[in-house]
Structure 1
Amino acid sequence: MVTVADLVAMPGLGLRPAPGAPPLDGPVLRWVATSELADPTPYLEGGELLLTTGLGTRGWSQEWTAYVDRLADAGAAALGLGTGLTHDRLPPALVAACAARGLVLLEVPRATPFVAVSRAAAELLQDQEATTTRLALDLQRRLTRAALGLDLRPLVERLAQLLDASVALVQRDGEPAEGPLGAHPETLDLDLVRAEVAGIKGQGLGAVSTTTRDRDTTVVRPIGLAGRPELYLAVSLPGGLDEPQRSAVSTAAVLLSLAVERRAERRAADRRLRGRALELLCAGDLRSAEVLLDAAEGGRSVPERLRVVRMTGAEEALGDVLERLEDDLADDGVLAGLVDGELVAVAVPSRVAAVLALAAGLRAGVGRAVPAQEARRGAETAGHALDRTTAASPYRRWEEVADAGPLALVPEALGQEYAATFLAPLDAEHRTTLAAFLRHHGSRGAVADDLGVHRNTVRNRLAEIERLTGLDLDDPAARVGAWLALELAADQA
């Protein structure tokens, strides 16, 4: 559910709850409406944040009570009054009426357009709807995975049932990944399991630990077919293990290893599919990208509105961040994959901060928010932002680059080379004259006054500049190039 608290927390809106307002996380927000009517309730369905500047309420005092009663009876989620027009501040009578009826009252600063509030609420509602859909798909995916034998838990549960034992899958640090499961899960001594895992994890896949303590037997053995084991099967049961039980544990370990290998192969294949899908998406081929994503496990979809995040760094660091993105954000509006040596993530705008929080050690450029059909533009602007990252500022958003002006769009090395080449034929006097000419929009008289020289001197200098550079300074394109070179040279200085 989206609440009024979620909207108030949106950055940049500056919405302020009135004194004595009820808890903001109570009212469920379904839409934003704007009305200056004294009785807007015929146009409300319930759950709206009603925005008004109070144009028809100047001089109101006792009238506020009836107004608030009507809104509360209509099921409005909150009332937002824009201050700075009809009312310089929230009227005390309105504050008291809202407090009495338990209606949330918000002050909307004059600098905040009502359309910005409506847009923010719409984005929240869209994200909430997408989250609900993702949760439904997640449940379906888990059921499908279990049916295909890729989920390890059913096998762990079955082993615990057959042996009347406590069974768990634990990670390399001994912490449970699945379980403990069984009729008496508390009988599995996790401290003992951690110690046994620590003792055998350096011995590879062939190591097995069997420990008897207080008449209980605990077996720990690695899971996997190749490489370093990441999971260990831990089984605890009363007494010792007879041969059938020992065989059951061995068989379960083999089956689990096959399942882990199948999952790894499937995950690698899905990664390749997602990487190719993201490559096509960033190239502007949305339809092909959706086909590939549908073929991958879970049938992921491209967000309707998205930001592209492009990340670079060491190969190992890219792999680690991709793992974190897949584990923590795969079901939360984020697609990630490796594309041409970069880690690319496509996320709903509200999840970009979560992506960057997991990107430690990488440089990241965040593109502008665009519809899915314009993902190519998002990828291009993300690339420009990535080009402007530094060791001191490893994350840059496109908006930061755009706000810095056109010079920020020129890569540093390219800008230095351009300025050096353009200005190479010109001495300091030529450059000073050219800068004054551009500053005064081509007025030779103004240049002469600025430099304290005769107009003929200015004319001769400009002619010499045109001869040396081969440019026509009356051409707007030539002036732009000259201005860019002078500005880049000034930045280098």
Structure 2
Amino acid sequence: MVTVADLVAMPGLGLRPAEGAPALDGSVLRWVATSELADPTPYLEGGELLLTTGLGTRGWSQEWTAYVDRLATAGAAALGLGTGLTHDRLPPALVAACRERGLVLLEVPRATPFVAVSRAAAELLQDQEAATTRLALDLQRRLTRAALGLDLRPLVERLAQLLDATVALVHRDGEPAEGPIGAHPETLDLDLVRTEVAGIKGQGLGAVSTTTRDGDTTVVRPIGLAGRPELYLAVSVPGTLGDPQRSAVSTAAVLLSLAVERRAERRAAERRLRGRALELLCAGDLRSAEVLLAAAEGGRAVPERLRVIRMSGPQEALDDVLGLLEDAADGVLAGTVDGELVAVAPPARVVGVLAALADVLASAGVRAGVGRAVAAPDARRGAETAGHALERTTATSPVRRWEEVADAGPLALVPEALGREYAASLLAPLDAEQRSTLAAFLRHHGSRGAVADDLGVHRNTVRNRLAEIERLTGLDLDDPAARVGAWLALEIAAEG
């Protein structure tokens, strides 16, 4: 930016600051205006050096105070009085009024035409505009070079370096995702950032917040190209941001948005690839699964021994779980297969994986079935047992292991609703006496004599009852499979 000090330093003008004038470099110069009016402020926009010969001010004394006050209120950068015409020197009352009001006062020698001052100021402003443009372009080029990869941190670091600022990327809750980065990271007021994010996150991707507090300026902008922004760029600089710096922040926001979008596309592609690999693995095609995983980013391999974890629940919650699993250490594979979230991990890692997911599983309605430990070529069997375990989960027991299901006996393998339907349809034709006879028959392993003794009836009665049971149910009670089915039906009915 151009200051009054820059203009005073121009050779050949001979501009002289009045005694006791405020710091010249603190007065930003935006233009030069000339007026002989007693009140020129209606024609000022602020930031002007007002030049006057003082025509009509001869004999002024107390009037200077009101005149200077009007100029200062209008935001004038400085007042330049041409001497040698109306006034031979700067009037003491004017000097005192400018000193009291903090307005820069310059003496313009008679030999210096006002037009020369205007031309010199215009040259400075043109040079400053050109320099601003060059700086903005240079900042854009440097930021663009830093954004060549998918990693966001190099771009954040570069922005902090170029602006001598403190920069951070924060989540929607205001918690840092990257940073704060800069020479003085403690200067970024994260409480302020959280407040500003909360204030603009409902306004979409075009929102921006600029706050000045304790001499620092903090800018917060959303990051993203479409949809709901998940990240926000926070930049804090001492003082104010000039146009090149604001342009650099805007450029960084766009480049970060592109990087986030590219990273999201890459992540979606990698998720599809891993999902397909896990689908092949769980179908028993280990070789094809390994080929796909080798092509994926990071090249994760299938563990030699593994457990399959199958999870179901609300899609948003499953996406959160998938994100957690993707950030896990090497050895854990996760992806979506037929609407389920499938994870594969070495047996020793399963406890840690489930512990990391405990909060989500408890609060988000996600259920998980853990299959038996198998060698990689037997992953299909591991997936099947994980599915059986998943079927046996409940709201109070959202995680079940295959071992728990297997130890509970055959009944644990039958889905509850299907089991009740099967028992009801098989046993419906039988009365209480027939059901008691069938249970005794199964309990005594088909010995009709033992059944007769148990029930206190004749053997022929037992034989007739069993024949009627076979007729009503269609079972062949000499067939072991039929006996198993009848036993399951009686046990399920007893539990109900």
Q: TM-score range by the shorter chain?
A: 0.5 to 0.7
1:86 corresponds in structure 2 to 86
**Inter-partner Cα distance in structure 2 for 1:437 and 1:112:** 126
Deviation at 1:27, TM superposition (A): 71
Higher alpha-carbon deviation: 233-242 or 377-386: 233-242
Deviation at 1:12, TM superposition (A): 94
Higher alpha-carbon deviation: 293-302 or 363-372: 293-302
338, 341, 345: which one pairs with 1:340? 338
Deviations 1:291-350 (A, max 9, x none): 222222222222221111111112222222222333xxx324322222111111112223
Alignment: residue pair count: 489
Deviations 1:221-240 (A, max 9, x none): 11111112221212222332
Cα gap change, 1:135 to 1:463, in 2 (>3 Å): farther
Residue segments in structure 2 that go unaligned for 5+ positions in a row: 359-363
Deviation at 1:193, TM superposition (A): 2.3
Does the aligned pair in 2 maintain the 1:448–1:458 contact within 8 Å?
Answer: yes
Cα gap change, 1:434 to 1:162, in 2 (>3 Å): same
1:385 corresponds in structure 2 to 389
Does the aligned pair in 2 maintain the 1:49–1:76 contact within 8 Å?
Answer: yes
Deviations 1:138-185 (A, max 9, x none): 999999999961101111111122222222212222222212222332
**Inter-partner Cα distance in structure 2 for 1:67 and 1:317:** 69
Cα gap change, 1:161 to 1:422, in 2 (>3 Å): same
Higher alpha-carbon deviation: 209-218 or 376-385: 209-218
**Inter-partner Cα distance in structure 2 for 1:475 and 1:52:** 119
Does the aligned pair in 2 maintain the 1:138–1:331 contact within 8 Å?
Answer: no
SS in 2 for 1:119: helix
SS in 2 for 1:127: helix
Q: Which has the larger radius of gyration?
A: 2
Higher alpha-carbon deviation: 79-88 or 233-242: 79-88
Does the aligned pair in 1 maintain the 2:139–2:248 contact within 8 Å?
Answer: no
Deviations 1:78-135 (A, max 9, x none): 9999999999999999999999999999999999999999999999999999999999
Does the aligned pair in 2 maintain the 1:466–1:472 contact within 8 Å?
Answer: yes
Deviation at 1:368, TM superposition (A): 0.6
**Inter-partner Cα distance in structure 2 for 1:374 and 1:92:** 100
Deviation at 1:63, TM superposition (A): 114
Higher alpha-carbon deviation: 67-76 or 240-249: 67-76
Does the aligned pair in 2 maintain the 1:83–1:108 contact within 8 Å?
Answer: yes
Determine what percentage of the aligned residue pairs are the same residue.
Answer: 90
Deviation at 1:21, TM superposition (A): 81
Cα gap change, 1:194 to 1:105, in 2 (>3 Å): closer
Cα gap change, 1:84 to 1:208, in 2 (>3 Å): closer
Deviation at 1:366, TM superposition (A): 0.9
**Inter-partner Cα distance in structure 2 for 1:250 and 1:84:** 51
Deviation at 1:137, TM superposition (A): 38
2:357 corresponds in structure 1 to 358
1:471 corresponds in structure 2 to 475
**Inter-partner Cα distance in structure 2 for 1:409 and 1:416:** 13
Higher alpha-carbon deviation: 21-30 or 301-310: 21-30
**Inter-partner Cα distance in structure 1 for 2:345 and 2:20:** 38
Cα gap change, 1:213 to 1:24, in 2 (>3 Å): closer
**Inter-partner Cα distance in structure 1 for 2:114 and 2:403:** 22
Does the aligned pair in 2 maintain the 1:131–1:333 contact within 8 Å?
Answer: no
1:441 corresponds in structure 2 to 445
Does residue 19 of the first structure (1) align with residue 23 of the second (2)?
no
Does the aligned pair in 2 maintain the 1:130–1:333 contact within 8 Å?
Answer: no
Cα gap change, 1:53 to 1:295, in 2 (>3 Å): farther
Cα gap change, 1:214 to 1:466, in 2 (>3 Å): closer
**Inter-partner Cα distance in structure 2 for 1:17 and 1:169:** 46
Higher alpha-carbon deviation: 287-296 or 19-28: 19-28
Deviation at 1:69, TM superposition (A): 96
Cα gap change, 1:460 to 1:166, in 2 (>3 Å): closer
**Inter-partner Cα distance in structure 1 for 2:401 and 2:160:** 51
Cα gap change, 1:236 to 1:36, in 2 (>3 Å): closer
Does the aligned pair in 2 maintain the 1:134–1:331 contact within 8 Å?
Answer: no
SS in 2 for 1:343: strand
**Inter-partner Cα distance in structure 2 for 1:334 and 1:141:** 40
Higher alpha-carbon deviation: 281-290 or 476-485: 476-485
Does the aligned pair in 1 maintain the 2:144–2:255 contact within 8 Å?
Answer: no
Cα gap change, 1:487 to 1:323, in 2 (>3 Å): same
Deviation at 1:420, TM superposition (A): 2.5
Cα gap change, 1:81 to 1:135, in 2 (>3 Å): same
Cα gap change, 1:445 to 1:80, in 2 (>3 Å): farther
**Inter-partner Cα distance in structure 1 for 2:349 and 2:461:** 61
Deviation at 1:380, TM superposition (A): 0.3
SS in 1 for 2:150: coil
**Inter-partner Cα distance in structure 1 for 2:284 and 2:339:** 19
Higher alpha-carbon deviation: 84-93 or 468-477: 84-93
**Inter-partner Cα distance in structure 2 for 1:443 and 1:9:** 120
SS in 1 for 2:139: helix
**Inter-partner Cα distance in structure 2 for 1:220 and 1:401:** 53
Does the aligned pair in 1 maintain the 2:2–2:28 contact within 8 Å?
Answer: yes
TM-score by length of structure 2 reads: 0.66
Does the aligned pair in 1 maintain the 2:442–2:483 contact within 8 Å?
Answer: yes
Higher alpha-carbon deviation: 204-213 or 76-85: 76-85
Cα gap change, 1:158 to 1:279, in 2 (>3 Å): same
Does the aligned pair in 2 maintain the 1:223–1:232 contact within 8 Å?
Answer: yes
Deviations 1:351-386 (A, max 9, x none): 323333415521111111111111111110011111
1:453 corresponds in structure 2 to 457
Higher alpha-carbon deviation: 371-380 or 195-204: 195-204
Cα gap change, 1:211 to 1:399, in 2 (>3 Å): same
**Inter-partner Cα distance in structure 2 for 1:429 and 1:32:** 113
Deviation at 1:406, TM superposition (A): 0.9
Deviations 1:64-89 (A, max 9, x none): 99999999999999999999999999
Cα gap change, 1:156 to 1:144, in 2 (>3 Å): closer
TM-score by length of structure 1 reads: 0.66
Residue segments in structure 1 that go unaligned for 5+ positions in a row: none
Deviation at 1:425, TM superposition (A): 3.2
Cα gap change, 1:375 to 1:259, in 2 (>3 Å): same
Equivalences for residues 33-432 of structure 1 within 5 A: 149-326=149-326, 330-356=328-354, 357-358=356-357, 360-432=364-436
Higher alpha-carbon deviation: 222-231 or 313-322: 313-322
Does the aligned pair in 2 maintain the 1:131–1:332 contact within 8 Å?
Answer: no
**Inter-partner Cα distance in structure 2 for 1:118 and 1:481:** 104
Does the aligned pair in 1 maintain the 2:219–2:235 contact within 8 Å?
Answer: yes
SS in 2 for 1:25: helix
Does the aligned pair in 1 maintain the 2:294–2:301 contact within 8 Å?
Answer: yes
**Inter-partner Cα distance in structure 2 for 1:109 and 1:474:** 127
Does the aligned pair in 2 maintain the 1:141–1:298 contact within 8 Å?
Answer: no
